[in-house]
Structure 1
Amino acid sequence: MAKGKVGKTVGSLGDYLKEQRQASRLSLRQLAEQAGVSNPYLSQIERGLRKPSAEVLQQIAKALRISAEQLYIRAGIVSPEEVPGAPERSVELAILNDPHLNERQKQSLLDVYASFLALNTTTEKE
């Protein structure tokens, strides 16, 4: 299959993007329009046939309302070690890289974790 030609990282990126698109209840056409890319190009990304640029990933992340960093890591543009930030970044990366969780579970955990951090920040300021 042609998917193997671009690489495993891109294939997992495509699977991840498709799951995020479906979770957002967007059609391929809707996401392509919001991200400013063509339907065929987005379809090829989802099937692992194309490796998108960082700029395209940023546009897709914005349309899906997810972190561009997540997409950069999944695409192999940056490694998890290169992502600057506080220790909470390692928690987020551990969740993202856990093979025992599906994408919806990962996003749920990330959302809960972010809400706890926000709550603690608010509480500390008082």
Structure 2
Amino acid sequence: MDKGVNQAVEAVADLGRDIGEYIRQQRNTAQISLRQLAKLAGVSNPYLSQIERGLRKPSAEILQQIAKGLRISAEALYVQAGILQERAGGAVVDAVLADHDLTERQKQVLLDVYETFRRENAMTRSAQGEHPAETEDTEE
């Protein structure tokens, strides 16, 4: 194989390890055992273990089942797996979308307000000559 093909194969392998590590971190944070998550997601224990170790790259459908078992948004897993581009807002958007106590309409309203605040703050920073990537944490 030529160098470009080798790099592409390694990049795909890295995605598998990245998504597996991300799933393991989310599982540990949720304090769910591998066996419990496998049952909740409707996949076999060995298959989930292989995903976490980066030996298997799960399909979007399997990622959706795992997300449901972890009670996180499938979108978060899709981004980690390289299926989707990360959306502005990151963790806040994920948290709103994952909240089972909110209706879809309430979630959309919250996300619209959040995005409005983000745009206003970006325009304010831009007008002050700051870089958009800077956060309020770095301001004095």
Give yes or no for TM over 0.5: yes
Q: TM class by shorter-chain length?
A: 0.5 to 0.7
* Higher RCO by CA contacts (8 Å cutoff, separation 6 or greater): 1
Q: Which runs of no fewer than 5 residues in structure 1 stay unpaired? A: 81-88, 93-106, 122-126
Unaligned regions of 5+ residues in structure 2, if any? 1-9, 100-108, 114-140
Q: Residue 43 of structure 1 is aligned with which of 39, 42, 49?
A: 49
Instruction: Give the aligned partner of residue 13 of structure 2.
Output: 7
Q: Which is greater in Rg?
A: 2
Is 1:24–2:30 an aligned residue pair? yes
After superposition, residues 86-125 of structure 1 pair within 5 angstroms as: 89-92=87-90, 111=95, 118=110
Q: Percent identity?
A: 56
Structure 1 stretches (4+) deviating beyond 6 angstroms?
none
**What TM-score results when the alignment is normalised by the length of structure 2?**
0.57
Distance 1:55 1:64 in 2: 14
User: What TM-score do the two structures reach when normalised by structure 1?
Assistant: 0.63
The one-letter amino acid paired with 2:38 is: A
- The Cα of 1:79 is off from its aligned counterpart by 2.7
